[in-house]
Structure 1
Amino acid sequence: MRLKLLAVAVLMLALLPGTAHAAPFDVETATRAYLDTLQGAARAKSNAYFEGGYWLVLWGTLVSVLADGLLLRFGLSVRFRALGERLFKRPAGVTWITALCYTVAGTILTLPWSIYTGFVREKQYDLMNQSLSDWLIDQGKDVGINLLIVPLIVMAVYAVIRRFPKNWWVMAAGVITGFLAFGMLIGPVFISPLFNTYTELPGGPIRDRVVAMAKAKNIPSEHIYLFDASKQSKRISANVSGIGPTIRISLNDNLLNRSTPQEIAGVMGHEMGHYVLNHVWWSLAFLSALAALAMFLVSRIGPALIARYGARWGGIRDIADPASMPVLGILIALFFMLATPLTNTMIRVDESQADAFGLDVAQEPDGFASVAMKLSEYRKIEPSALEEMLFFDHPSGATRVRMSMQWKKDHVPNAQMVVPSPMPQAELTPQ
């Protein structure tokens, strides 16, 4: 009898007004709560910016092909080679001059497109903080770096073509791999500081949290860098860069100033995932394989095109002639455009693995979900599955939020759904 009375009492207590009922945590409901914070003009702007990028891949390739086509049509690459032959006796010197002129000409011909995509469009979508003059200064630095490095790469590739005329593509792929590794080694130390100032992340709760996360996974944490990306754009970002002794984890000041401690922890945990999972080395291996395939195709298609059209292009002799650079440029541009889904998938898989690692180390599922929503300023939040596979080099915001909420359900006892604040409309409304 006492048991029956106790049961009735419990039932009546549960039915009293105002009594809390803890509903099971639902991943889809929690995910939708975050996704619905981006609505109206803000979502339309985000979608328009990112979807426009799909076309930029195509139009950018066509611009590159057109520039190389003009160099061939007017015989300019042959004139560049002739200039090299007047100045140098050795093939290496001829190739160096030809590559230098080719790089300058290509930069000039594609400059209007670069201004539109790199400055005008970014300004249109309120993502750019630089003036045109400041942006052009950065572009000048980039051109200067290209004028130093590109001719060296071209010299090495053409030296291989001359030395190994039958199977040069194998050695050329090795040359490209070597330059990729060298660039990744020196980039963080010597190149990145030309564009931004890198300093140690200041001491305090944020650094203490990041260092604790790093130590928990046996990650070197003596140097965690902060760089001033806000002088260029409004994008929040962090990265892991370098190889070997130059590997470093960096975050930009936009992330530090626009994000909560929980969001920063989620992002930095993600970046630590890249380090622990050796994504830099996997990326180098993948890009090297892709370069080998590209060189193989060029070695088969390039000579046939030159044999048929070389005379019409001003007198290109063969594939070993440095005047053939625009031919190689066209073929490589088309190859990497067609390979975009492959490169996107490789990067996206790495990013997804780093997301999972970051959730484990930071244990901030809501922080990571909310920062994924902030990335919607320049990434479409809810693409179709096919769209995400073809065009996204990172998991979409919806994928990341859903992963975060699934992690929360699986790892947080008595998980409760958070009601996130709406995304700020003023920042995202088109100008």
Structure 2
Amino acid sequence: MVRKMGVYVVLAFVLYGLFFYWYIFYFSESKLPFEYAGTKADPTTFLNGRELMLSEEYSKIRNLLFFLSTPFEWLFYFLILLFGFSKAFKRWAEKSTKYRLLQIAIYLIWLSFFAFLATFPLNYISYSLSKTYHISTQTFASWMKDELIDFWINYGTWLIIVPVLYWLMKKSQKRWWLYGWLLSVPFTLFMMFLQPVVIDPLYNDFYPLKNKELETKILTLADKAEIPAKHVFEVNMADKTNALNAYVTGIGSNARIVLWDTTLNKLSDNQILFIMAHEMCHYVEKHIYFGIGGYLLLSLLGLYLTYRLMNWVVVRWGKELRIADVSDIRSLPLFFIVLSMLLFASSPLTNLASRYEETRADRYAIEMTKNPEAAITSFQELTRSGLSQVNPPLLVKIFRYTHPSMLDRISKLEEYEIKHQNKE
């Protein structure tokens, strides 16, 4: 039975991978609808032939890696359970110390280490791909440093969560999901407060914008939007990537607007002002707080479904998976599988909400700056620097895109430009 389960799950993963390979490389069409041909959203008007070819190649491989990576983690954790590695990790932990908290820490380091090894090849392929297509400028040593920082941050976070979670499971088999969620609320807010000042600086150096003339323009724009901003931060990303980005991070007094130095190096002041106005909308319309609220509601539902599904799996296949009880630490890989599956399943909904907010931010920015040419050319440069698909396949857009496609964004800006030209 155990061998059959392993064969069936591996076969399912292979068939899943073949489906997405066929869908991305052969079935899906990324060509523009004919009505957009020759418009400013048409990549042939701002990308040369080589850039068009590279963007198609790069996007297809990246999309395939995306659809393979998360289910590969499910497969890994499932095999960890099926072949008794989870049981072995627990046994090694119990032999090492008699203290329960240390046992959990040791179990978790074994599980995290094997997960790191299992997912390393796909992560390296992704890094190597971005180097090959000149998106990444990062050395292997720098990339490896970031990977290890990720590892220890994830390990430290789970070292806080897992002991509390499994203590709650033992104390309340029917309500642990609710108590766990209640504790997650302040923890989530605390982590978001720390993100800009503790976690982000582990990866890069942040400092106030060096270009004071540009900073004055941005702060004038912020004052127009009634945002009490005193600084705009830039971050050194040129040593890692050629891509462009800007974002809002943190909450409360730690909230920041951040510009990558690559954005500063490649875009004009007017283009940057449009991007800054876009980011300011997220602050003005409190998108960060709506995002937190939505995340907490989904996490409540997610933890409840995790509780129900874990109980169902343990009752039905507990013997085969070597899990005697949900509250046994050996069930942790099952917890990760169920939680990850629910996150993946909910991504179309969360991405849809995010795309709606990003559309509003684009509209806000163009109304504030009233410079459609700068807005359109900034998106064209973002497309070029990241070798992005202007019109991604439907499933890619649904599962991957937190922002509208460049086709949607540029075409709306061009409509605005034409509309206001006619009024003049």
Q: Which residue is 1:276 aligned to?
A: 284
Cα distance, 1:338–1:262 mapped onto 2, change above 3 Å: same
Cα distance, 1:216–1:82 mapped onto 2, change above 3 Å: same
- In the TM superposition, 1:50-65 aligns within 5 A as 50-65=59-74
Partner Cα distance (1:387, 1:62) in 2: 15
Instruction: Please state which structure has a larger fraction of its residues in helix.
Output: 2
Contact 2:63 2:396 in 1 (8 A): no
Q: 2:361 aligns to what SS in structure 1?
A: helix
**Quick one: which of 95, 98, 106 aligns to 2:107?**
98
Q: CA deviation at 1:122?
A: 1.0
- Structure 1-normalised TM-score? 0.83
The alignment status of 1:320 with 2:327, answered yes or no, reads yes
Question: In the alignment, residue 240 of structure 1 is paired with which amino acid?
Answer: V
Contact 1:270 1:357 in 2 (8 A): yes
Partner Cα distance (2:143, 2:172) in 1: 42
**Quick one: which of 112, 117, 123 aligns to 1:114?**
123
Question: In the alignment, residue 164 of structure 1 is paired with which amino acid?
Answer: S
The alignment status of 1:399 with 2:408, answered yes or no, reads yes
**Quick one: which of 181, 188, 201 aligns to 1:193?**
201
Q: Which residue is 2:259 aligned to?
A: 251
Aligned-pair identity (%): 25
Q: CA deviation at 1:160?
A: 2.4
Q: Which residue is 2:16 aligned to?
A: none
Partner Cα distance (1:78, 1:337) in 2: 27
Question: In the alignment, residue 179 of structure 1 is paired with which amino acid?
Answer: F
Partner Cα distance (1:290, 1:388) in 2: 21
Q: CA deviation at 1:105?
A: 2.0
Cα distance, 1:385–1:138 mapped onto 2, change above 3 Å: closer
**Quick one: which of 75, 80, 99 aligns to 1:71?**
80
Q: CA deviation at 1:305?
A: 1.7
**Quick one: which of 342, 345, 354 aligns to 1:338?**
345
Contact 1:381 1:398 in 2 (8 A): yes
Partner Cα distance (1:30, 1:75) in 2: 58
Q: CA deviation at 1:286?
A: 1.6
Cα distance, 1:187–1:158 mapped onto 2, change above 3 Å: same
Question: In the alignment, residue 353 of structure 1 is paired with which amino acid?
Answer: R
Q: 1:249 aligns to what SS in structure 2?
A: strand
Question: In the alignment, residue 327 of structure 2 is paired with which amino acid?
Answer: A
Q: Which residue is 1:129 aligned to?
A: 137
Q: 1:283 aligns to what SS in structure 2?
A: helix
- Structure 2-normalised TM-score? 0.84
Partner Cα distance (2:245, 2:265) in 1: 11
Contact 2:93 2:106 in 1 (8 A): yes
Contact 1:318 1:324 in 2 (8 A): yes
Partner Cα distance (1:242, 1:201) in 2: 18
Q: Which residue is 1:363 aligned to?
A: 370
Count the aligned residue pairs: 388
Q: 1:220 aligns to what SS in structure 2?
A: coil
**Quick one: which of 230, 234, 238 aligns to 2:246?**
238
Q: 1:143 aligns to what SS in structure 2?
A: helix
Q: Which residue is 2:388 aligned to?
A: 379
Q: 1:319 aligns to what SS in structure 2?
A: coil
Contact 1:379 1:396 in 2 (8 A): no
Contact 1:265 1:364 in 2 (8 A): no
Partner Cα distance (2:155, 2:327) in 1: 21
Q: Which residue is 2:317 aligned to?
A: 309
**Quick one: which of 32, 49, 58 aligns to 1:49?**
58
Partner Cα distance (1:140, 1:324) in 2: 25
Q: Which residue is 2:360 aligned to?
A: 353
Q: Which moved more, 1:353-362 or 1:38-47?
A: 38-47
Computing the radius of gyration over CA atoms, which structure comes out larger, 1 or 2?
1
Cα distance, 1:50–1:341 mapped onto 2, change above 3 Å: farther
Question: In the alignment, residue 230 of structure 1 is paired with which amino acid?
Answer: A
The alignment status of 1:174 with 2:187, answered yes or no, reads no
Question: In the alignment, residue 328 of structure 1 is paired with which amino acid?
Answer: F
Q: CA deviation at 1:203?
A: 4.1
Task: Give the superposed CA RMSD.
Answer: 2.5
Q: CA deviation at 1:241?
A: 0.1
Q: Which residue is 1:266 aligned to?
A: 274
Partner Cα distance (2:342, 2:299) in 1: 10
**Quick one: which of 161, 165, 173 aligns to 2:169?**
161
Q: 2:388 aligns to what SS in structure 1?
A: coil
Contact 2:39 2:45 in 1 (8 A): no
